[in-house]
């Protein structure tokens, strides 16, 4: 990915992975990052982020709003 932007942030890794799945289904390249000790600390001590290329931000947000993951 070129320049990237965080399009959504969640408390838990699985929430970010669900959001990423909607974006992948829409054909948008996506990555997730989570600071949860690789799942060793599942109580949400970190922030799970969904990241897309800068050029895909608007479309990604639209997809996540339509999916009910983000508020519009």
Q: Note the pLDDT tens digit of each residue in 17-45.
A: 999 999 999 999 999 998 766 656 656 55
Structural domain range at position 55: 4-66
User: Position of tokens 């799970």?
Assistant: 48
Asked if residue 71 belongs to a domain, the reply is no
Total domains in the fold of the chain: 1
Contact indicator for 29, 52 with CB cutoff of 8 Å: yes
The count of residues in the chain is: 72
Q: What is the pTM of this model?
A: 0.85
Quickly state the pLDDT bin for 51 (edges 50, 70, 90).
very high
CATH code of the domain in which 61 resides: 3.30.70.1530
Asked if residue 72 belongs to a domain, the reply is no
Please state, for a pLDDT cut of 70, what percent of the chain lies above it: 82
Asked if residue 27 belongs to a domain, the reply is yes
If we measure between CA atoms, which residue out of 50, 53, 42, 66 comes closest to residue 18? 50
pLDDT of residue 59: 98
């Amino acid at each position: 990915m070129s320049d990237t932007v965080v399009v959504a942030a969640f408390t838990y890794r699985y929430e970010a992975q669900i959001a990423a799945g909607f974006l992948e289904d829409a054909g948008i390249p996506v990555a997730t990052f989570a600071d949860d000790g690789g799942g060793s600390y599942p109580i949400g001590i970190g922030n799970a982020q969904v990241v897309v290329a800068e050029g895909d931000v608007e479309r990604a947000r639209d997809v996540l709003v339509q999916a009910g993951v983000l508020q519009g």
